[in-house]
Structure 1
Amino acid sequence: MEQFLNKLLEKNRAKCQFGSVADYIPGLDKADRNHLGLCIMKTDGTVQRVGDYDVKFTIQSVSKPLTLMLAILDNGVDHVFSKVGMEPTGDAFNSIKKLETHDTHKPFNPMINAGAIATTALIKGRDAQDKFRRVLEFFRKICENDTLEIDEDIYRGEKETGNKNRAMGYFMKGEGYIDGDVEDALDVYFKQCSILVTAEDLARVALFLARGGVLSNGERVVSEYVAKIAKTLMVTCGMYDGSGEFALMVGVPSKSGVGGGICSVVPGRMGIGIYGPSLDKKGNSIGGYSLLKDLSKELSLSIF
């Protein structure tokens, strides 16, 4: 199996030259665009790791399904979805357009920046510091990795350049979709995106969802229904405005981030974590996407 995976990985590493690393957040441009790593964790305990699976990178938007689950634990499903919708936008992940032009002005889903900011704003805590402490503890629990920390340089870069996110936050505050302090919500959001992970960490998140919300020690953290919500939104919205094509070509619940990560869930079977910082025009790992297409075809992974 390892030889097979290595062959697929090296085939798809060549695709990385056709993308580029994100550079709109200071620090992300330091990534090596030729990096490509894969970790597969099966529900029977089998683990396979190839390529640059142990390179650390910031989780970015792959954080969004996790904060969604924590917000639901804190507030319940109905309240969360009174503040954020469930529909794909067809727009770029950082677009502000539909916030203003749609009748309700409600963010469309928790997997785009506007919806993720509204979701993060729902996480409970005394202040921004306490809220992020809870976020980090939750991420460490799901990743089963107590060493997770943020990249301080990336966090500062996120905060310094996050004016579009700031505009979305204040717009949603004005429309009643953010109840607390906007700057507190943004600070937690910038920090959650700056948490350092590896492809192996993302595989463990995916395995957690593949098990329906259960850790490797058997502990249930979220209900099957909450895990199902996260997986469903990953299918419909998780790969930005390329989610429909991805569902057709790969066919598994997945969430990407501009740090190069992809977290892919094969329900009941396995979790897949990928790192490949060379991105396509929609912000998805170009080598990782291609690798997942090959894996889906060769291993019959599609849920459809």
Structure 2
Amino acid sequence: MEKILQQIINSNKKYTLDGQVASYIPELRNANSEDLGICVIDMNNSMYSAGDCDKKFTIQSISKTIVLAMALMDNEWDYVFSKVGMEPSGDPFNSIMKLETNDTKKPCNPMINAGAIVTTSLIKGNTLQEKEDRMLAFFRKLAKNDTLQINESVYKSEKLTGDRNRAMGYLLKNDGYIEANVEETLDLYFKQCSIEVTVKDLARIGLLFSNYGIDIETGKRIISEEICRMVKTFMITCGMYDASGEFALKVGIPAKSGVGGGIMASVPRKIGIGVYGPALDKKGNSIGGLRVLKTLSKKLNLNIF
């Protein structure tokens, strides 16, 4: 398997030259655009990796899947989806347009920024610190990595330049979709996006969703089967921003990307996958990572359709 993964990395490395690292968050400019790595963990808990698999990067929008699961565990589902929708938006991940133009002004889904800010506001806790502690503990539990930390430089950079997200937050507050304090919600949102991971962490989280919430090592349930199904469905329909339909057709794996260059994928009952390539295409997805997943899906017959 590692030989196959290394061949896939080698054959797709050239595509990293066609993308650009994210620049709207200043700290993300420091990434090496030619990095490309992958980790796969199977149902026997065997781990295989190749390329830049030990590089740390911030999780960014991949965090939306985990926070959605947490919001659904903390609240009644009907309440959660009274605040955020279930439909693909067809717009860029940071679009603000439909908050004004759709009939309800409700965010289309939890995988775009507006929807994710809403789900972040639904995390339970008496104080911002308690919410942050619960969130970080949950990320660590899913990744089976107690060393996960918030990258303070990226967090501060996001907070300093996050005016578009701030505008969304106040629109959502005005229309009743956020009931919590807006600035505290945004602070928590910036922090969740700034959690530092490797592809091995992403593969471990992807495997948990693949196994419908059961820890492969202990056999203990961490997330309900229903929530895992829901999260993977959002990954297929909305997880790759406004390229989700094309990705579903060409790759056919539930996946979620982030502008830090990561992609987490989850093949039901088979494998969890983490990919890293900070050079992005115009829609904000890892340009090399997309190619790697397309090749892997075809080679191992992973397409769920």
TMscore range, shorter length: over 0.9
Corresponding position: 1:113 with 2:113:
yes
* 2:62 partner amino acid: V
CA distance in 2, matches of 1:25, 1:193: 11
Q: The residue matched to 1:160 in structure 2 has which SS?
A: helix
* 1:53 partner amino acid: C
Contact 1:203 1:264 in 2 (8 A): yes
CA distance in 2, matches of 1:102, 1:206: 33
Report what 2:189 is aligned to: 189
Report what 1:135 is aligned to: 135
Corresponding position: 1:55 with 2:55:
yes
Report what 2:220 is aligned to: 219
CA distance in 1, matches of 2:76, 2:138: 17
* 2:152 partner amino acid: E
Q: The residue matched to 1:245 in structure 2 has which SS?
A: helix
Contact 1:253 1:265 in 2 (8 A): yes
Corresponding position: 1:206 with 2:203:
no
* 1:295 partner amino acid: L
Task: Say how many residue pairs are matched.
Answer: 304
Structure 1: tracts of 5 or more residues without a match:
none
Percent identity between the aligned chains? 57
Offset of residue 222 of structure 1: 1.3
CA distance in 2, matches of 1:91, 1:186: 21
Q: The residue matched to 1:265 in structure 2 has which SS?
A: strand
* 1:257 partner amino acid: G
Q: The residue matched to 2:41 in structure 1 has which SS?
A: strand
Corresponding position: 1:88 with 2:88:
yes
Offset of residue 211 of structure 1: 0.3
* 1:131 partner amino acid: K
Q: The residue matched to 1:213 in structure 2 has which SS?
A: coil
Offset of residue 48 of structure 1: 0.4
* 2:259 partner amino acid: V
Report what 1:259 is aligned to: 260
Contact 1:84 1:108 in 2 (8 A): yes
Q: The residue matched to 1:95 in structure 2 has which SS?
A: coil
Offset of residue 130 of structure 1: 1.2
CA distance in 2, matches of 1:187, 1:219: 32
Contact 1:127 1:184 in 2 (8 A): no
Report what 2:70 is aligned to: 70
CA distance in 2, matches of 1:115, 1:26: 24
Give the alignment of 1:228-243 within 5 angstroms.
228-243=229-244
> What's the Cα RMSD here?
0.6
Offset of residue 198 of structure 1: 0.2
The 4+ residue runs of structure 1 with deviation greater than 2 A are none
CA distance in 1, matches of 2:21, 2:288: 12
Q: Deviations over 1:127-172 (max 9, x none)?
A: 2121111110000000000000011000000000000000000000
Report what 2:297 is aligned to: 296
Report what 1:157 is aligned to: 157
CA distance in 2, matches of 1:144, 1:44: 16
Offset of residue 76 of structure 1: 2.2
* 2:170 partner amino acid: Y
CA distance in 2, matches of 1:109, 1:71: 13
Q: The residue matched to 2:67 in structure 1 has which SS?
A: helix
* 1:247 partner amino acid: A
CA distance in 2, matches of 1:246, 1:2: 24
Structure 2: tracts of 5 or more residues without a match:
none
CA distance in 2, matches of 1:197, 1:240: 21
Report what 2:99 is aligned to: 99
Offset of residue 221 of structure 1: 1.1
Contact 1:85 1:109 in 2 (8 A): yes
Report what 1:8 is aligned to: 8
Q: The residue matched to 1:54 in structure 2 has which SS?
A: coil
Offset of residue 215 of structure 1: 1.5
Offset of residue 232 of structure 1: 0.2
CA distance in 1, matches of 2:184, 2:157: 17
Q: Deviations over 1:38-91 (max 9, x none)?
A: 000001122101010110000000000100000111102111111100000000
